[in-house]
Amino acid sequence: MKSVSFGNNNAGLQIGDHRGTINVEFLLPPERPKTPPGPTSTVPFRRDPDFVCRGKLLDQIDKKTSAPGSRMALVGLGGVGKSLLAIEYSFRIRSQSPSTWVFWVHASNETRFEQSFRAIADMAQITGRQDPTANIFSLVEQWLWNEKNGKWLMILDNVDDYEPLGKLLDRGPTCLRNTQPNARVKPLLDYVPRSHNGTIIITSRTKEVALNLVDNEDMIEVEPMDKPEALELLQRKLRTTKEITESRQLVEELNFMPLAIVQAASYIRNRAPRYSVSQYLIDFQSSDRGAIKLLQKEASSLSRDWEAKNSIVMTWQISFEHIRQTKPSAADLLSLMSFFDRQGIPVNLIRNHPESSSSSTLKLSDNSDDEETSRFDIGLDFEDDVLMLRDYSFISLNKTTETLFTMHRLVQLTTHAWLKSHDRIDQWQEKFINILYREFPTGQYENWRICCSLFPHVRSAITQKPKTREILLKWATLLYRGAWYASESGNIAD
């Protein structure tokens, strides 16, 4: 038996007549030590040339990430600009501190989390990364712990669901199943260390998830833009400062939401010069159906992940589905609230009626103790539902009183589109009308205080003509009472 070499680390065996067992073991040559690469970035997006500086948000991020080993989270509605802020901040860090590594981790699911860690291992040329049996997460974790590798910033983007990344799993990503098929592995997020040389920024749509990773004081709630910022964004995307008055009206109609503004600008620009801001505004205001149709048009963007929807409607509906799957009663509450006047939704109307809660199936016992317990449980369920919707920023407390909620008009429109897609809009429209029919009194003077507080919701009901005869009669009666109150109180214009 003799060995034959073919070059380039390839070799074989040449054997004559042999009748016994032959055991051959080939060992891969060890990885040659290489010169460590210099710090760089794995951010997969280009810097947005139209980025609008939003007040002191970037300064707040800088402040919360100034301490060694700090973690902070950007939380807010989908499409409000969390990821865009993180992208801009990452470029500023690389510009100010070229010796700092910047790592972007897609944290929407296990697969993309693993892909991001492999990209880090390749970029940093971590020894052992090419071994198919290696735990890539441990390799990256050890590298991040090593302060000799320098400072680093990691952005965990779209941590919207804690379950797949933050819980202890019986199964794991591919690299862990290959080496430990029956082992319980630690949560994937635990492979992101709190080292003194590292900083972590998290983006999430919900406070509940973010609070699993950061303290409350390390969280920044990203709100929609203010009017000057929104106007500047629209003008930058349109490359024009014409139609100022109409542009101001449009960004207000879009609730100053960055993604909705980018969508509108893309739609207008692609149809220019035969289309304008004025025409878009007319089409948007013509009807709820027209507004939703426009908001469903996706805008191409080099600053958004390929998995992310470039439409405000589709972005929010993903969140609606997650709420429906994890807490159906919260989805029911959102459905009901979407029909009220958005600026002052009374707590007592949506809490005291069985239609507003999945708990309506509960039958209160004749036993007073059981009745008290059941009412207590229903109250807790309601508060849990409210908390979830507030965590997602779909509703908020009225600034003047805690007994009223507010919603963005775009959230209401998107909720209606979502209900239509599930063939449930008639069901919730009827429940809304039933509640107002029971609560809105006749227009006599002694009822004016109640009528005044509920009248905006009666106005909202005008466009909600039901289909069934029974509810249609209630709807007509409700509008009659509203007209009675308006006439008696001198609010004819309303």
Q: Indicate if 203 and 281 belong to the same structural domain.
A: no
- Residue 466 in tokens: 């039901």
Q: pLDDT band for 169, please (50, 70, 90 cuts).
A: low
Mean per-residue pLDDT, 163-176: 64
- Indicate whether 235 pLDDT > 50: yes
Give the mean pLDDT of 437-453: 92
Highest mean pLDDT among 166-175, 378-387, 425-434: 425-434
First-last CA distance in the chain: 101
Domain stops at, among 183, 202, 221 = 221
- 304/381 Cα distance (integer angstroms): 36
Are residues 190 and 72 both part of a single domain? Answer: yes
**406 pLDDT more than 60:** yes
Domain housing 159: 57-221
Q: What radius of gyration, in Å, describes the C-alpha atoms of the chain?
A: 29
Answer yes or no: is 184 within a domain. Answer: yes
| Segment 72-77 mean pLDDT | 96
Same domain, 337 and 422: yes
pLDDT digits (tens, 9 = 90+) for 236-247: 999 988 899 999
For residue 351, being part of any structural domain is answered with: yes
Give the mean pLDDT of 387-394.
Answer: 93
Helix (H, G, I), strand (E, B) or coil at 26: coil
Q: Tokens at residue 489, please?
A: 């109180």
Same domain, 250 and 211: no
Where do runs of H (alpha helix) occur along 338-440? 347-351, 368-391, 409-421, 425-439
412 and 375 part of one domain: yes
Give the three-class secondary structure for 128: coil
pLDDT at 183: 43
Is residue 301 in some structural domain?
Answer: no
Which pLDDT does position 186 carry in this prediction?
85
SS3 content of the chain, % helix, strand, coil (to 5): 50, 10, 40
For residue 8, pLDDT beyond 60: no
Which of 17-21, 184-188, 386-390 shows the lowest mean pLDDT across its residues? 17-21
What pLDDT does 30 receive? 60
pTM of the full structure:
0.81
Asked whether residue 121 is domain-assigned, the answer is: yes
Q: Which residues share a beta bridge with 345?
A: 405
pLDDT at 360: 39
At 170-194, the pLDDT tens digits run 545 555 555 554 444 689 999 999 9
Please report whether residue 45 resides in a domain. Answer: no
User: Given this model, what pLDDT does residue 12 score?
Assistant: 59
**Residue 164 confidence (pLDDT):** 82
Q: How many domains does the chain have?
A: 3
Does a structural domain hold residue 157? yes
Whether residue 160 is found in the same domain as residue 265: no
pLDDT at 157 over 80: yes
Which residue among 192, 221, 250 closes a domain?
221
Q: Could you tell me if 389 and 266 lie in one domain?
A: no
- Return the minimum-mean-pLDDT range out of 6-15, 147-156, 289-298, 413-422: 6-15
Q: Is the pLDDT of residue 46 over 80?
A: yes
Same domain, 318 and 393: yes
Position 197 confidence tier, pLDDT thresholds 50, 70, 90: very high
Would you state the pLDDT for residue 378? 57
Which of 162, 197, 221 terminates a domain? The answer is: 221
Mean pLDDT, residues 438-465: 93
Per-residue confidence band for 359, with pLDDT thresholds at 50, 70 and 90: very low
Residue of 54, 170, 45 whose CA lies nearest to 106: 45
DSSP tag of 355: G
Name the residue among 247, 226, 222, 227 with its Cα closest to residue 237.
247
Same domain, 208 and 235: no
Alpha carbon distance 355, 211 (integer Å): 31
Are 170 and 278 found together in one domain? no
Q: Is 452 domain-assigned? A: yes
- Whether the pLDDT of residue 108 is over 70: the answer is yes
Confidence (pLDDT) at 132: 87
CATH code of residue 89: 3.40.50.300
120 and 231 both lie in a single domain:
no
DSSP bridge partners of 220: 74
Write phi, then psi, for 405 (nearest 5 degrees).
-110, 160
What does the pLDDT read at residue 92?
Answer: 96
The yes-or-no verdict on residue 49 having pLDDT over 80 is yes
pLDDT at 366: 45
Q: Give the Cα separation of 370 and 368 in Å (integer).
A: 5
Q: Are residues 217 and 237 in the same domain?
A: no
Instruction: Specify the pLDDT at position 402.
Output: 75
Could you tell me if residue 20 is inside a domain? no
